[in-house]
Homo-oligomer: A and B are copies of this chain.
Amino acid sequence: MLVRINTAPRMSIDGHLAALAGEGMCYSEFRYRRGLEIFGEGEEPEYVYQIVSGAVRTYKLLPDGRRQINAFHLAGDMFGFENEAIHRFTAEAIVETHAHLMRRSSILEAVRNGGAGTKDLIKFVTQNLAHAESHMLLLGRKTSLERVTAFLLEMDERLHHPDVMILPMSRRDIADYLGLTLETVSRALSILRDEGLLRFDGNTQRRLELVDRDALAKIDA
């Protein structure tokens, strides 16, 4: 399952994990192959993760298989922190992913000792909450076109407005994030393309270029 590519603990030099537990804390680096489960809903949390490269989806399932993806995590993002003794969702690598791992117990202890990283931890959880709240607005009240547009703008922002956006996730992943079906996502993208707001870039359908960000922002109510 896990592919350990660096067993020797290393010092954290920058990034959130370092901020959380302070310098001098150590972590390991792991690699997860495309599609691999990183942890499962209900499992006992052992680590907190920061992505070095790759992409991760976190999701919940209903008993009959319906899936809701909470969030996508990209390079630099942290995920997997749990306050209670249980993972509230499953995490999977969307593509080959490298991540730094730090023991959850270290984080909790740092908080207990009034460590400097406490503020960062609160900030981290609060940002997740803010994201979840705006996603509830999307899921409860936006149309399919608004949802897909919002998704594109979110990814555009998180990828720092690249000329060509390379999406690591499939149409099905996008659909399960937006509370739609993959066909509806595909249709919405086609509409935006036909309206000239975006271009499918060349060969593959996961590379696309936002041509008119202002117009997209207007669609996203």
Measured CB to CB, the residues of A under 8 A from B are: 60, 62-64, 66-68, 70, 82-84, 88-89, 111-114, 118-119, 121-123, 125-126, 128-130, 132-137, 139-142, 176, 178-179, 221
Tell me what chain A mostly uses at the interface: helix, strand, loop, or mixed: helix
Interface pair A83/B126, CB less than 8 Å apart: yes
Further 16 A-B residue pairs, CB within 8 A, beyond A84-B126, A140-B178: A62-B142, A67-B141, A68-B141, A70-B136, A83-B123, A83-B126, A84-B130, A88-B133, A111-B118, A111-B122, A112-B119, A125-B125, A129-B132, A132-B132, A139-B139, A139-B140
Task: Give the copy number.
Answer: 2
* Contacting pair A68 B221 (CB below 8 A): no
Residues of B contacting A134 with CB < 8 Å? 60
Q: Which of B113, B133, B221 contacts A132 (CB 8 A)?
A: B133
* Cα separation A70 to B137 with both chains bound (whole Å): 8
- Residues from chain B with Cβ under 8 Å of A84 in the complex: 126, 130
